[in-house]
Structure 1
Amino acid sequence: MSLTPDQQAEIDALRSTPSQTLRVVAPGAEKHLYSAVPVLDHGFVRVIDYMGDDAAICQAARVSYGKGTKSVQNDEGLIRYLMRHWHSTPFEMCELKLHVKLPVFVARQWIRHRTANVNEYSARYSILDREFYIPAPENVAAQSVVNNQGRGDTLEGEAAARVLELLKADSTRAYDHYQEMIDESGLGLARELARMNLPANIYTQWYWKVDLHNLFHFLRLRADAHAQYEIRVYAEALCKIVADWVPFAYRAFEDCRLGAVTMSAQMVTCLQRMLKGEAVDEENSGMSKREWREFQGMLGN
């Protein structure tokens, strides 16, 4: 993990001078404040601020003030009801602000979730560090033959070694040329132009603030086993943070979203026929080949 000395000094200062507050605090979130969680080879995620907790979700759902006479058990039951029935607005009462360091190509996937506030490190004003994501050998894989946007089998031997050699060499050469172009005593090119020569595996940083409803949507897609590894590991790090911050809401999310499946009408009909003892196969299912494969995966076949 690559925190700069200034960032580490800021973290140390903030953690050594806690502030008093009248607002409700979530102990699980407090322990993550300003602590950087390493991700990939140079990346990290750290919590800068948060708002709300499990009780805030229930308060918003009941449109009342304070905890009233409701028990903790009732709160958890209410949250599970809201999650099961896709009631989103109570979860929007909680927010999380993060500082994330990530490769540019991961950031371009991440930014497609257009439901957050983002402020990214500017390469127009600042010089990017010489830090590139180079995958571990076990994450160097061939193109999938069944999924045009995914990985297939892991590359091994000379092929894997050559890929890593090319990545390292190209990254180094691109950054050397970047430095040469912006050198004021040399070419003196504007930083906003020189940055276009940098590869997509260079690291960037941003502050990302999102409400819990939209964060759950992000995690449902990016913590999924089918998500690209390089963004999935960020989502998995966030899952651990959210589980500590809002444990009731996260358990409901884990059960009703991460661990659940969504079936089409044809899938439900086929399942009903199977339960009645009928023989159902791809030909008489009424599904496409891909949908049938997904249905079989849901059934564990």
Structure 2
Amino acid sequence: MPLTPDQQAEVDAQRAQAQPTLRAVSPGMEKHLYTAIPVLDHGFVRVIDYMGDDAAICQAARVSYGKGTKSVQNDEGLIRYLMRHWHSTPFEMCEVKLHVKLPVFVARQWIRHRTANVNEYSARYSILDREFYIPAPEHLAAQSVVNNQGRGAALEGEEAARVLEILKTDANRAYDHYEAMISQEGQLGLARELARMNLPANIYTQWYWKVDLHNLLHFLRLRADAHAQYEIRVYADAICNVVADWVPFAYKAFEDYRMGGATISATALDCVRRMLKGEEVTQENSGMSKGEWREFMDTLG
């Protein structure tokens, strides 16, 4: 379970402490505050704090007072204009702080996005729990034959069972040794900062991750994409649902222009124009490499 009974009681207590405020609040985000959204087998995402809403984006763009000088319809239109023309600063006026529990190997992918403030649970001071990510059988897959960083067909039968048993056995053996090394019963015990080196990459860690909306949307564009690794994509999907409730106008524009839209090269745009004129365009006469042409065809559907 992602949360223990004690942790759930703490969440309930936090949600019970309502405070009056003069700052702008997002009703959609308020319902998410402190609540843990389960991800994977032991992980979660929860909102600890946030600042701003759709109106804050418009306010920053217009540098105006209060909730803005235009109607709600114009606010949505302005946000779509800002997203369409890649204006980033107004979206940076909104921020969110998340508490995330995730496997270490997912955290190492996540931390490559160097545009956030992060504070991670320290295994130098504390003892990590015996919690490991063990994939569901349907997520065990062979190496892709066309993508060096992707998956192919799912493993089945005895091979899948053997791999799952190896993952479980190795993780628990490493944790047994970790406990044995740090124990102070009849020995000095190895320092926690050294003992942690023996733990596997599928053990869970936790961190607070604070980021502005502009950089969060960039993270989501990459990690909620169908080509992203499953284990980080499910976290991104959970965050997408939160953002959709927090800033609905901005998220809808993001879906249209970033997730659902496409950016093509000048060469590809020329090919589209030639196609519209009735010309037969092939990879050989397109000016594109085979890889570029394949991606172009995928974009056109």
8 Å Cα contact 2:62-2:68 kept in structure 1: no
| 1:145-294 pair list within 5 angstroms | 145-187=145-187, 188-294=189-295
Structure 2 residue aligned with 1:123: 123
Which shifted more, 64-73 or 164-173?
64-73
C-alpha deviation, 1:40, in angstroms: 0.3
SS class of match (1:44)? strand
8 Å Cα contact 1:91-1:211 kept in structure 2: yes
In 1, the alpha carbon distance for the partners of 2:160 and 2:262 equals 35
Matched, 1:93 2:114: no
In 2, the alpha carbon distance for the partners of 1:136 and 1:95 equals 34
For 2:289, give the aligned amino acid: S
For 2:233, give the aligned amino acid: R
Structure 1 residue aligned with 2:71: 71
RMSD: 1.0
Which shifted more, 268-277 or 107-116?
268-277
In 2, the alpha carbon distance for the partners of 1:69 and 1:217 equals 28
The one-character-per-residue Cα deviations of 1:71-105 (angstroms, maximum 9, x if unpaired) are 00000000000000000000000000000000000
Structure 2 residue aligned with 1:58: 58
Structure 1 residue aligned with 2:139: 139
Matched, 1:4 2:4: yes
For 1:225, give the aligned amino acid: A
Q: TM-score, normalised by structure 2?
A: 0.98
8 Å Cα contact 1:180-1:186 kept in structure 2: no
In 2, the alpha carbon distance for the partners of 1:21 and 1:168 equals 48
The one-character-per-residue Cα deviations of 1:87-135 (angstroms, maximum 9, x if unpaired) are 0000000000000000000000000000000000000000000000000
SS class of match (1:130)? coil
In 2, the alpha carbon distance for the partners of 1:231 and 1:126 equals 25
C-alpha deviation, 1:23, in angstroms: 0.7
Which shifted more, 8-17 or 82-91?
8-17
C-alpha deviation, 1:186, in angstroms: 4.7
Structure 2 residue aligned with 1:110: 110
In 2, the alpha carbon distance for the partners of 1:155 and 1:172 equals 23
For 2:120, give the aligned amino acid: E
In 1, the alpha carbon distance for the partners of 2:67 and 2:246 equals 18
Unpaired segments ≥5 residues, structure 1: none
| 1:18-33 pair list within 5 angstroms | 18-33=18-33
C-alpha deviation, 1:5, in angstroms: 4.0
8 Å Cα contact 1:118-1:208 kept in structure 2: yes
* Structure 1 residues 68 and 97: CA distance shift in structure 2, 3 A: closer
In 2, the alpha carbon distance for the partners of 1:284 and 1:169 equals 55
Which shifted more, 272-281 or 57-66?
272-281
Unpaired segments ≥5 residues, structure 2: none
C-alpha deviation, 1:69, in angstroms: 3.9
8 Å Cα contact 1:133-1:201 kept in structure 2: yes
In 1, the alpha carbon distance for the partners of 2:23 and 2:93 equals 14
Which shifted more, 66-75 or 244-253?
66-75
SS class of match (2:90)? helix
In 2, the alpha carbon distance for the partners of 1:189 and 1:93 equals 46
* Structure 1 residues 183 and 68: CA distance shift in structure 2, 3 A: closer
8 Å Cα contact 2:50-2:94 kept in structure 1: yes
C-alpha deviation, 1:9, in angstroms: 2.6
Q: How many residues align?
A: 300
In 2, the alpha carbon distance for the partners of 1:35 and 1:232 equals 20
| Identity among equivalent pairs (%) | 82
C-alpha deviation, 1:264, in angstroms: 1.4
Q: TM-score, normalised by structure 1?
A: 0.98
SS class of match (1:189)? coil
For 1:31, give the aligned amino acid: K
In 2, the alpha carbon distance for the partners of 1:231 and 1:68 equals 37
C-alpha deviation, 1:68, in angstroms: 4.6
SS class of match (1:249)? helix
